[in-house]
Amino acid sequence: MRSRRSISDIVAVVLLIVIAIAAAVIIYMWLSGLIGSMHTSTLATQVKLEITGANVTYNINKKGFNVTAYVYNPPGSPSTSITLGELEFTNGTLICASSTSTLTVTPSPIAPGSTATVTFSCGYSSKVPAGTPVKVILVTTEGVQVTYTATVTVS
């Protein structure tokens, strides 16, 4: 009889340890989510920018991309500006990113209820076939990222 009792004591201790670890993990995840949400600016959560269309052209002679995106800032969203444009393959691989000298936003800042045209160019040495799907990614001054999937045309 004594051996059975000692086994049940061991099982009880193991179960208590497992329950304590699970509780600690749940509390950690809850607190890290709470703390992470405190660092998000309220202005960033209000930006509702949308890309309504995009043209992506690969220039064979210049070995680079020309990107034009059409952006809409709905009413109720604050004025914002675009600071960065990126181009990625649909698997998430970065193709290229705009520099500040190649990024043009007209008009800037983008007022609520208005549209803007964003253009940028960036180099890429490997040939990209026509019809390749790519993601156009624009980042605002508040850090909000908007994405649009387009297909590549070749010129």
Q: How far apart are CA 103 and CA 85, in angstroms?
A: 7
Domain at 62, CATH number: 2.60.40.10
SS3 88: strand
Tokens representing residue 30 in the block: 């809850």
Do 26 and 83 share a structural domain?
A: no
Structure token digits, residue 88: 């990625």
pLDDT tens, residue by residue, 58-111: 988 888 888 999 999 998 888 888 888 999 998 988 888 886 667 888 888 898
Residue 20 lies in domain? 1-39
Same structural domain, 132 and 57: yes
Q: Are residues 59 and 84 in the same domain?
A: yes
| pTM for the predicted model, two decimal places | 0.68
Which residues have a Cβ under 8 Å from the Cβ of 77 and sit 6 or more positions away?
A: 46, 47, 48, 49, 112
Residue 54 shares a structural domain with residue 100: yes
